[in-house]
Amino acid sequence: MSMGIPWIWKPGYSFPRKSQTKAMNSFENEKLELVESLFADDTTILGTREEIFIGRNSFMEVMNMFEEKCHPDKEEHLFFGESESESIRMLGSFVGRKKDNQERLKRARQGVWKVKKQLWKTKMSKINQARVVEVIVESSVLFDCTVRPWNIAEINKLQRVVDEAYRYIWSKKNKGPVRIQMETEKVNMFGIRKLLGIESLRAKIERRSLQRMGLVLRLSNDRLTKKGMLRLVQKGGKENRKADLHT
């Protein structure tokens, strides 16, 4: 029994037009079955629900042939479209968009609290304090941010949490509420980040995403990474089956 997820791509274009996707025998389109993904010592098997368990057994048989061990307690089953899979983490992000946003916000709040506590009586310059926030807080928020899509509302929520640390750094820590200080100085959050030499999270996410896409697009057309980024999931026939994934 074969297994995998069918993908279609026209070399040189990000996506083929609808009329071209129907012409499956056209020499201009390429077809590929995505069967597995390998990263370090992790193996991800792709296919339908029925195929996954057959593929898993075959994988374990091969491992046994080489006297290698599988660890069932470390396995996870990810079924696309089912809520139970939203809490599974892959490539640094949780599959569920809501879950991933919640976890990033949680890490951001924890980081801001720790940083504010440590910077209370520091003698570092405000610029260096801002660098600390970038390293400790933003690094946890932006970890593997390029593996998922974002909308402006999600980024703004994260930005508001991180901005609390930057306002704290900018302020005269023992001179009353930061809001009053900002009104007195007639400065907004954009101005504070500019004074500290800090880019917005949106700018950082966009740049990282474009850098990653640029690296992939410079690969040759026969590289699976490039094909995977530019392909469309094939629709029709075998095509309408639900794609499941086993990690």
Count up the domains in the chain and report the number. 2
CA neighbor of 32 nearest in space, from 231, 242, 213:
231
- Model confidence at 231, pLDDT cuts 50, 70, 90, reads low
**Residues for the chain: how many in total?**
247
Q: Are residues 169 and 228 in the same domain?
A: no
pLDDT at 195 over 70: yes
Which of the pair, 196 or 222, is modelled with greater confidence? 196
Q: Are residues 98 and 66 in the same domain?
A: no
pLDDT at 244 over 50: no
- Model confidence at 13, pLDDT cuts 50, 70, 90, reads low
Q: How many other C-beta atoms can be found within 10 angstroms of the C-beta atom of residue 122?
A: 13
User: What's the mean per-residue pLDDT of the chain?
Assistant: 78
- E-strand ranges in 80-148 read 89-90, 93-94
Provide the token pair at 166.
Answer: 């930057």
Q: What span, in angstroms and rounded, lies between the C-alpha atoms of 183 and 170?
A: 13
Q: Is residue 227 part of a domain?
A: yes
pLDDT tens per residue, range 79-131? 776 777 777 776 667 778 888 999 999 999 999 999 999 998 888 999 999 99
Q: Tell me the C-alpha to C-alpha distance, in Å, between residue 147 and each of 23, 174, 206, 234.
A: 30, 41, 12, 21
pLDDT at 63 over 50: yes
Q: What is the pLDDT of residue 37?
A: 65
Q: Are residues 97 and 190 in the same domain?
A: yes
The C-alpha angle 72, 74, 80, rounded to 5 degrees, equals: 95
Q: Is residue 80 part of a domain?
A: no
Q: Is residue 48 part of a domain?
A: yes
Q: What is the pLDDT of residue 243?
A: 43
Q: What is the pLDDT of residue 127?
A: 94
Give the structural domain span for 14: 5-75+221-246
